[in-house]
Amino acid sequence: MSDLQSQDYIRRSASTLTPPSIRHHEQEVAKLIDVSRCIGCKACQSACMEWNDLRPEVGHFNGSYDNPQDLGPSTWTLMRFTEYENEQGNLEWLIRKDGCMHCEDPGCLKACPAPGAIVQYANGIVDFISENCIGCGYCVKGCPFNIPRINPVDHKSYKCTLCSDRVGVGLEPACVKACPTGAILFGSKSDMTDWAGERVAELKSRGFANAGLYDPPGVGGTHVMYVLHHADKPSLYAGLPDEPHISKFVGLWKSVIKPLAIAGIALTALAGFFHAIVVGPNETTSEDEEEARHLLPHADKKP
């Protein structure tokens, strides 16, 4: 995606300055994916390809409904199908639309070394600004959800934009528009949270005692949320992380070592500079040359 000037950045990768932030009236948005309403038709996948002009290579049938098998540089959303046998011995077909969660505290953005390659708009959408991307793959390491994919051809990282180009002009994301059952909804984050509360209450009344909203606090909440029938076990849904958080290795690298290291190098160089000013150079003296000459075999003493 390109830069959306109509939206403020609240976060910008590899930047030490405050990004432009005068427009502060944007509402935080969220996409709500109600897994209990999904029928697995993949209209959202098609709509995503259609709107974003993506055409992943045709793959192979692997005995599962998952098609393609995984997210990719040109597969930004993917239905993941799980056959789950519940405590009563009944089959539950759990279908989760996978894709970027648009974390409030995005690990990809934290890890990114390229200024402005990853931004977060004031409405909460996390977007990759491809022209600034250097293809290092640090976003892959930063992401707790295993979402970004590097395209081997142009060495750029890609993922769902939450249709930031559509949202920027007041439209809902393409997947939301295409969903035939209303399983994908889009609106302000507070509206979506309220609506999810109603859905959860309804699911509970129908016997799903552990139904709940997936808006994981470990990443500050997300701008893509799920209504799950088994919110106590998110990992049932094709490995959705139970308690996602930015890896402590990434945190240590980016929050601790990054500033300390620059200080360490600068202080070492400064120590050298002031040693040169205070103590000064260590020069070989004529006495050293004289002493050295005394040690030489007799013949060499008179040059």
Partner 1 sequence: MNRPKGTYIRNNTLARVNHWITAGCFVLLTLSGLSMFHPVLFFLSDLFGGGQWTRAVHPWIGVALLISYAGLIVQFWRDNFFSKDDLAWTLALDKVLRNEEEGVPPIGRFNAGQKLVFWAMTLLIPVLFLTGLVIWEVYFGEATSIEAQRVAVLIHSLAAIAAIIIWVVHVYAAIWVKGSIRAMTQGYVTAGWAYRHHRKWFKRLIETGSTGPTPNE
Binding part of the chain for partner 1, among 58-66, 122-130, 171-179, 256-264 by CB under 8 A, reads 256-264
d(CA 247, CA 143): 8
Given a contact cutoff of 8 angstroms between Cβ atoms, the answer to whether 237 and 82 are in contact is yes
Q: Is 97 exposed, middle or buried (0-12, 13-18, 19+ CB in 10 A)?
A: buried
Nearest to 5 by CA among 121, 161, 102, 159: 121
Nearest to 224 by CA among 107, 122, 104: 104
For partner 1, the closer CB: 201 or 292: 292
Q: Tell me the residue type at 217.
A: P
Nearest to 161 by CA among 241, 51, 57, 80: 51
d(CA 221, CA 192): 13
List Cβ neighbours of 11 (8 Å cut-off, separation of 6 or more): 19, 106, 109, 119, 120
d(CA 234, CA 214): 8
DSSP string, 129-183: -GGG-----HHHHH-TT---EEETTTTEEE---TTHHHHTTTPPPHHHHH-SSS-
Binding part of the chain for partner 1, among 67-75, 98-106, 132-140, 174-182 by CB under 8 A, reads 132-140
Q: Of the candidates 47, 150, 174, 185, which one interacts with partner 1 according to CB under 8 A?
A: 150
Binding part of the chain for partner 1, among 2-10, 14-22, 84-92, 173-181 by CB under 8 A, reads 14-22
- Joined together, the tokens standing for residue 284 give 């070989």
Q: Of the candidates 136, 171, 204, 241, which one interacts with partner 1 according to CB under 8 A?
A: 136
Binding part of the chain for partner 1, among 63-71, 72-80, 96-104, 285-293 by CB under 8 A, reads 285-293
Check residue 255 for interaction with partner 1 (CB under 8 A): no
Check residue 238 for interaction with partner 1 (CB under 8 A): no
Check residue 243 for interaction with partner 1 (CB under 8 A): no
Q: Which helix (H) or strand (E) holds 196?
A: helix 189-205
Check residue 209 for interaction with partner 1 (CB under 8 A): no
Q: How far is the CB of 239 from partner 1 (least distance, A)?
A: 13
Check residue 15 for interaction with partner 1 (CB under 8 A): yes
Q: Which of residues 261-280 bind partner 1 (CB under 8 A)?
A: 261-262, 264-265, 268-269, 272, 275-276, 279-280
Q: Of the candidates 54, 134, 171, 238, which one interacts with partner 1 according to CB under 8 A?
A: 134
Check residue 171 for interaction with partner 1 (CB under 8 A): no
Q: Of the candidates 24, 207, 281, 298, which one interacts with partner 1 according to CB under 8 A?
A: 281
Query: Tokens 């997210």 identify what position?
Result: 71
Check residue 140 for interaction with partner 1 (CB under 8 A): yes
Check residue 249 for interaction with partner 1 (CB under 8 A): yes
Check residue 54 for interaction with partner 1 (CB under 8 A): no
Q: Of the candidates 135, 168, 218, 239, which one interacts with partner 1 according to CB under 8 A?
A: 135
Check residue 115 for interaction with partner 1 (CB under 8 A): yes
d(CA 43, CA 174): 10
Interface contacts to partner 1, rule CB under 8 A: 14-16, 113-115, 132-138, 140-141, 146, 150, 152, 155, 247, 249-250, 252-253, 257-258, 261-262, 264-265, 268-269, 272, 275-276, 279-286, 288-293, 295-297, 300, 303
